[in-house]
Amino acid sequence: MIEFDGVSKWYGAVRVLRNISAKVEKGETIVLCGPSGSGKSTLARTVNRLEPIQEGTIKIDGTDIHAKSMNVNALRTGIGFVFQQFNLFPHLSVVDNVMLPLQRIRQQSRKEALPTALLMLERVGLADKANALPADISGGQSQRVAIARSLILKPQVLILDEPTSALDPEMVGEVLKLLRELSSEGITMMCVTHEMGFAREVSDRIWFLRNGELTFEAKPDLFFSSNTHPDVRGFLSSIH
């Protein structure tokens, strides 16, 4: 469903993505990992065009999303994106954050949008925080709100860029639990993360990037086995 074909990207003279070709099937959960500076976040951000690419194509269901004719806003409404730093809108309450896409993109009235948003908050376990402001909830709660906001337009694809890296250790679990549930519900997911436990249990495949290159790609069994790529072995031992 998502098809990377020869994708390359430069920042000036620095090449940050090198000729990446890979496929994500519908409903799959892909974990992207690798050392810092490997290009994994950049690759994730190319999928909803937060980053332009200079070479290659990225197709979703056969449509070239980096084509000039592609409506970038329409593309993004079909792709949920979750940031490391949550990026909730501080002037809006929790429920208003979640409702914003319904109101301002689907042009629903507050009255129409509210039940959908409350249902979504319930889904992430935060119905009781609907009227709180982002400044008054914890990091884990903020990230769950951000996930709710990214899902409110029922996207087919959910991209997560290190969703637990900014969280205190005791809050990582609640977010991963939610992601596990979402994964089993069949949404197509690409998740940049260092949480190898999550990768092992939840992902269908793991992509390993190094210096902008997709060096290894495997199912978790193989990825964590002794037959894995030597770079992966080095990486895994370095983060443990």
Q: Where on the chain is the footprint of another protein (CB under 8 A)?
A: 48, 50, 73-77, 81, 83, 85, 87-92, 100-101, 104-105, 133-136, 142, 149-150, 153
Q: CA 170, 199, 6: angle at the middle one, nearest 5?
A: 130
Minimal distance, residue 106 CB to another protein, in Å = 10
Which tokens in the block code for residue 116? 């959908």
Asked if 67 and 7 touch (Cβ cutoff 8 Å), the reply is no
Nearer to another protein, 82 or 196 (CB): 82
Describe the strand order of the beta sheet including 205-210 as a list of residue ranges: 79-82, 157-161, 188-192, 29-33, 205-210, 213-218
Nearer to another protein, 83 or 223 (CB): 83
Nearer to another protein, 8 or 84 (CB): 84
Nearer to another protein, 83 or 207 (CB): 83
CA-wise closest residue to 87 among 123, 50, 46, 60? 50
Cα–Cα distance, 97 to 93 (Å, whole number)? 6
Nearer to another protein, 92 or 218 (CB): 92
Nearer to another protein, 92 or 222 (CB): 92
Minimal distance, residue 70 CB to another protein, in Å = 13
Q: Which residues contact 107 (CB under 8 A, 6 or more apart)?
A: none
Distance of CA 48 to the CA centre of its chain: 10
Minimal distance, residue 136 CB to another protein, in Å = 8
Cα–Cα distance, 233 to 121 (Å, whole number)? 39
Minimal distance, residue 231 CB to another protein, in Å = 31
Minimal distance, residue 167 CB to another protein, in Å = 13
Q: Which phi and psi (to 5°) does residue 95 adopt?
A: -70, -35
Asked if 22 and 214 touch (Cβ cutoff 8 Å), the reply is yes
Minimal distance, residue 234 CB to another protein, in Å = 29
CA-wise closest residue to 187 among 162, 160, 220? 160
Minimal distance, residue 152 CB to another protein, in Å = 9
Asked if 6 and 66 touch (Cβ cutoff 8 Å), the reply is no
CA-wise closest residue to 214 among 40, 57, 49? 40
